[in-house]
Amino acid sequence: MRNRITAIAYNTFREAVRDRVLYNLVVFAILMVGAALIFGEISIGIQRQVLINLGLTAISLFGIVIAIFIGIGLVSKEIEKKTLYTVLGARPVRRWEFVLSKYSGLAGTLVVNAGFMAVGFFAALLYLNRHFERADAYVLVALYFIVLEFLLITAIAIFFSTFSTPLMSAVFAFSLFVIGTFAEDLRAFASMTTGATKYLASGLAWMVPNFAAFNVISEVAHSTPIAGRLVLYNSIYAALYVMVCLSAAVLVFERRNFK
């Protein structure tokens, strides 16, 4: 079983790495980090803040786009190419193994890409400051949260791709990302309302992924330490949310008729 999952995950990783669009987005993200460096040098006195804000935001946004763009096509491409029937029919691969291996392959791709973009970012930071300082370690926490975002949105994209078209899956996943970015505001709104509106807003606020909790870019830019309990909370939250999304994806995929 482990060999089957590893083989499909590795194949998914190779296919994602070969995707030209992936390279374009990664290069564009690195260029954005470079642009942030230029803006940082122009903004005398706040160079570091500008570089961290723009650089990490570029890494986050382009990674999210990559996760959604590739995640929504993992299942549909296999159906279009009819390779899914070979994998599930001729080979002893179970459907939950297929979903899990596809997720693992793309997650590995995103982690590697995030690593390359992080190297580019720290190179820009070193060029700007000529040295690293203790507060730069907080950037690693922000990057860790960004990777958690990637893993979360990938699971969401794969879930939608198990029952919807690539276009609609992209719309659903991106919409959920936008709503989740304002999850804290939605919870604040729910606390100010009453009656049915309160229950509706509260339910929606707790159901959507809380991407706002992963955004500590502003705090890191101002050299504010990130609390350890937030790291623990976000790690557990992301793991549980990913498990729920993948479980739902497996349930849908198990019941889908491909004939």
Given a contact cutoff of 8 angstroms between Cβ atoms, the answer to whether 220 and 142 are in contact is yes
∠157-159-198 over CA atoms, to 5°?
Answer: 90
pLDDT value of position 26 = 65
Q: Which residue has the higher pLDDT, 46 or 109?
A: 109
| Maximum mean pLDDT: which of 13-17, 50-54, 193-197, 242-246 | 242-246
Tokens of 101: 């291996």
Dihedral sign, Cα of residue 155, residue 158, residue 159, residue 164: positive
Residue that the structure tokens 């300082």 belong to: 133
More confident residue, 257 or 96: 96
In 10 A of CB 208, how many CB atoms? 18
- The per-residue pLDDT for 196 is 81
Q: Are the C-beta atoms of residues 72 and 161 closer than 8 Å to each other?
A: yes
- With a cut of 80, say whether residue 56 has pLDDT above it: yes
What is the residue-averaged pLDDT of the chain? Answer: 82
SS3 content of the chain, % helix, strand, coil (to 5): 85, 0, 15
- Is 80 exceeded by the pLDDT of residue 57? yes
pTM (predicted TM-score) = 0.85
pLDDT tens-digit map of 22-44: 666 667 666 666 666 676 666 66
| Model confidence pLDDT, tens digit, residues 68-85 | 888 887 777 777 766 776
Task: With cut-offs at 50, 70 and 90, classify the pLDDT of residue 200.
Answer: confident
pLDDT of 45 reads 63
Do 26 and 113 meet the contact criterion of CB atoms below 8 Å apart? yes
- Residue positions counted in the chain: 259
DSSP-assigned letter for residue 151: H
Closest listed residue to residue 209, CA positions, set 227, 235, 182, 236: 182
CB 4 within 8 A of CB 93: yes
Q: What DSSP designation does 224 have?
A: P
Predicted local confidence at residue 164, as pLDDT? 86
pLDDT-derived band of residue 243, with 50, 70 and 90 as boundaries? Answer: very high
pLDDT for 136-171, tens place per residue? 888 999 999 999 999 999 999 999 988 888 889 889
Given CA atoms 216, 219, 221, 223 in this order, what sign does their dihedral have? negative
**Residue 49 in this model has a pLDDT that exceeds 90:** no
pLDDT tens digits, one per residue of 91-136: 677 888 888 988 998 898 888 888 888 888 888 888 777 778 888 8
Joined tokens for residue 95: 């459907």
CA dihedral 83, 89, 95, 99 (to 10 degrees): -20
Percentage of the chain beyond pLDDT 90 is: 23
Cα–Cα nearest to 253, from 34, 118, 129, 98: 98
Question: Whole-angstrom Cα distance, residue 92 to residue 149?
Answer: 32
Q: Over 70: is that where the pLDDT of 208 sits?
A: yes
